[in-house]
Structure 1
Amino acid sequence: MKHKASLWFGEFGTSVHITDVHWEGDISQQELIAVADQISPDWQTIDLELDPHHPCHGQTYRLARPWPNPEEAEDALRAIEMEDALDGQYVWVHCCQIVIDPRGELIDEAGRAYRQSFSTVMFCTEFTSFEDIALQCDEHFGKGEWDEYELYLDDELPTPVASFG
């Protein structure tokens, strides 16, 4: 049996069709949401149409995007506010890759020796978004090769203790 889900953006009745997804067999709501998120992060509703041979064919099934929990919404709002505050300012980016050396002097929970060290890059750029900073870190280390970054305004950097040149 082949089923169809239509992804829609906007409020019901005034929404815009994004695309249709077809699949065979059963699928859970969580699996369908995951597929929809991969296709378009903008979907707001999914209309399900079951195969004509399915016993429930003809009934309307509508799945609405679940709203984020309040903590996620607050975090997203803080990120937007921070992006607005930093927009257009020059920031120093300290991008870091954590390197685990198995010949180290620290012991992990499993009793294995390791040494944690860091490979870092620091660069200055005009801030546009956190996503843009992440893309620039990808350029310096390679996609998925860095672990974290920190941002500093020019006047928040400590005074250098030494220089070479």
Structure 2
Amino acid sequence: MSSDAGPEMPSHIHTMETPVGPLTIIGDTRAINTLTFKEGLSATHDPLPDTLLLCREELEAYFAGSIQQFTFPIAQPGTAFQQTVWQQLTMIPYGQTISYLQLAKRINNPKSIRAVGTTNGKNRIAIVVPCHRVIGSDGSLTGYAGGIWRKKWLLEHEMKQKFGSLELF
């Protein structure tokens, strides 16, 4: 997750249908830099680069329950603090959750809990940088840019794939 994007590359936009609604992929030949549930983004109709094709393929496999980790390259701009938080998010195992306080402690800054929450909310690469795996200290589902219902669905999907049929929230 580099913040040094280098020379500007043309972005490609592709929207795919998922069990949680349309998911828009934005990236170039080097990396995916946005996965969002925002509606109304205009898709490009030119041939997609391999990075977007691989992203789509792996997301389809994720939703089918056949993969738990992604291999396509990602990059989103951000401060050093944001990059640290987003890197920690990628280390939360599939099918598990942690609290915002635990996340702040993982970056050796327990007093940064609010900044961690804000950074979590600024994550532009949904699912792959799994901000949906961060919950309140009391176990409640709190804040998710894609909507709490999507967060619940994603967490239950991962738990079901990892542990069998469960309903948690």
Q: What is the TM-score when the length of structure 1 is the normalising length? A: 0.24
Larger Rg: 1
Larger relative contact order (Cα-Cα within 8 Å, sequence gap ≥ 6): 2
Between Structure 1 and Structure 2, the one with more strand by share is 1
Between Structure 1 and Structure 2, the one with more helix by share is 2
